[in-house]
Amino acid sequence: MTCPFGHLLLESNYDTLERICFCHEKPNSSSANGDCSVLNETKKQLNDYFNRKRKQFSVKIRMNGTAFDQKVWSAIQTIPYGETMSYGIIAKIIGQPTAFRAVGRALGRNPLPIVIPCHRVIGKNGNLVGFSAGLNIKKQLIEHERCSI
């Protein structure tokens, strides 16, 4: 799908969303997905998000990762829309206060950016650090949310 920040490739397995990938070019889609309800619902929810009509996602997801990854991904879902939190705070939330670098690695493995809002995690000094789609898109996502509060 096309979004204000470029193109997104959405992947599902039956009735669950499994991956969102930022693409520099419009992806060639050879899959028949016109009648895939989870992809259609994901597109609708993402469009609502980009049009400032949605702050949380309710599409059914499946994320494969380690137990640590799952804890990190759950923790970042508690960051309110339009707000940010540091890697160190996330490490404290999951009960491993010195694991801020491991938190960063887990966020780098997040298969569902935007839906699982890893863009809301920043450096302890407020700097933007680390984002799979690049810091420019991370900045745009944060600004998008802050402008719609």
The residues annotated with a catalytic role in the active site are 118
**59 near 115, Cβ under 8 Å?**
yes
Residues 92, 135: Cα–Cα separation, whole Å: 24
| 8 Å CB contact between 143 and 12 | no
- First CA to last CA distance, the chain: 25
Long-range CB contact pairs, 117-120, < 8 A, 24+: 117/76, 117/77, 117/79, 117/81, 118/76, 120/76, 120/79, 120/83, 120/84, 120/85, 120/145
Beta partners for 75?
A: none
